[in-house]
Structure 1
Amino acid sequence: MLSWSTDELRPHERFDHWREVRGKHLAGVTMDIDRDKRGDFRGRFSSMPLGSALLSEIQATAYDVSRNREDINRLSSDSLRISHLIEGPGWCDTPRGRVYMDAGAISTSYSDLPFALAQRPGSMHVRLLRIPIDGHEALARSARDFHTETLAPDSRYSKLIRASFLSLADAGAQLAAAEADSAIGHLAQLVLLSRGAIGRSTPESREAVRAAHLTAARRIIAGNLYRQDLGVETLAKALVISVRQVHMLFEPTGMSCHRTITAMRLDEVRRLLAQTPERPVIDIAFACGFDSLATFYRAFRRAEGATPGDYRHAVLYDSPGVMMRR
């Protein structure tokens, strides 16, 4: 992973260094900020390979950034870009018009088309995924015409692209290269679908949609473990698919939807048992969505071969390499 910040530089040097190193030589863009704000500028940047793609994260004082023909000729990247604007709303001017971006927006574009991005005063935080196009026939055929567009929240593929992108970004270096490339391929296919560049009936499109629905389902489960009514019907409603389709999503995994929910609840129970040793077991069980102590103890013993109390004691005191809490 490459990581860098302006913190070690003198205030009057920070933006100029950021503009030259981060902007001109790494990203191939032109940056600008009001002269009276340069002394207060701060920036932090990191990037890591994610399979064949590159994931970057930028946190900085808001500034203007553009990519013109000179920038493109100097440093071409020939990539599909997917960005998540976490903080720092603004707008992007393209040859096809102005695109407004609120905090939380996800946008897609081709890297080697001109744009001018302006952000409101304050701070900005963005995660950006660059997927190389070379060697990907469907991407090469269509994506080079993709000027910046944001995903409409209510569009057919918006939730699926968001869930897939956030899962990739959150997992980061934990993903093996082959696993990352598979997920990135599905994500690129979803972007093509969202842009109307390919049809929905191809095997590749159907597999990308299925994989994204499964990813979205797991994210919904992870965010709602506390709900005792969490189940197939909850997921079907959230994903806007049928109950039968939810069951079919989990079939290739070898675990049913119900077993997946239970397994994820138990993972959270294990985490809380280890990290909050003073918290009562009964409190943890109900906080993780178990509707009765009998159900909880039965599921935990089946998974661990021990009671929650014995498991906690082993993790805190008996496991090799674990710091003793006495």
Structure 2
Amino acid sequence: MGVTSAGVGLPELDVVVPVAPKDVADAATAVESLLRHCRNPIRAVHVVAATPPRFADPRVRWVDESLVRPGVAEVEAVLRDTGSPHGNATWYFQQLLKLGCFALPDVAADHVLVADADVAFVADLAFADRHGRALVPAGYPLRWVPGGGASGAVRHAALRAASRLVPGWRAVDGFSGMHHHVVFERRVLAELVRRVEQAHGVPFWRAFLASRDRSRWTGASEYVLYRHFACRWFPERVVVRHLSSVEVVQGDGAGGFTLADVLRAPRSPDVAAVGCHRFVDYADRIATMDYIPDSLRRALPANAPLTLRLRRGEVTVTPTTTPLAFPDPAQDTA
């Protein structure tokens, strides 16, 4: 679909969607939602995957992930050499892929919307405004405290990793920037890479992996790194906003919920995005997520699917029910 008249004058975007094998079934839904709801003109949607996607829209283009560098094998070798206890090479590979998006073939726009393959947008949204400013998500709070909004986090692996990676880096507020998408601007990302390589004397990707918290499954975050870097050093180039979403988080096993299931479920009208995530090493990831307080972690059922609702910067985490339904939290009586 083309851009509506309301999108005239907005800057053109390239879109990059990395697709892991576990997300192949949901990727088409995610890409179709971007084509339908992105108000910016989309130059191309670059689907990075092991096999070609099937789309009638000529803007959708395949990038063979085996040609991306660093590749999974290179990332895995670095993690192995540094004694990583986690099998998360593919997770770091997709982070580095996103941070290297401007090096992908045929990416020509100055703004790149990177979106995860297990999230669908359900509201019309611009991702860069008429002044060329990137509209980036505030994302989840760094500390998930019921009723606490953006409570400060005293421990967070992604914060530690970013501060080791970029001299002078620090979080500008209590929100992570993690919300399954971000808008990179070419010159901002280039400056981030330049500072890192100047400080560490090695290629950016090696410095990124060396700076991670090795004890955590999620020991670094591209979204945390970039959002706070851009807001601190390029505040005139970004606009931070809260988007409401509902998401299901579950293990990467047979069965379970699909993105189509979440899309069909009743939800409140303010929701802008829905997600359905399959986590590799689910129990390990939940156990090492710094932003989940221990009290909340103990209250959650072990290995069970969870529902995450983000509204005005506050997150609510509950066990997922069947059939799925995501009503307005303000009207919940349970």
For the aligned pair, the TM-score class normalised by the smaller chain equals under 0.3
TM-score normalised by the chain length of structure 2: 0.25
TM-score normalised by the chain length of structure 1: 0.26
More RCO (CA 8 Å, sep 6+): 2
Is the helix fraction higher in 1 or 2?
1
Rg larger for = 1
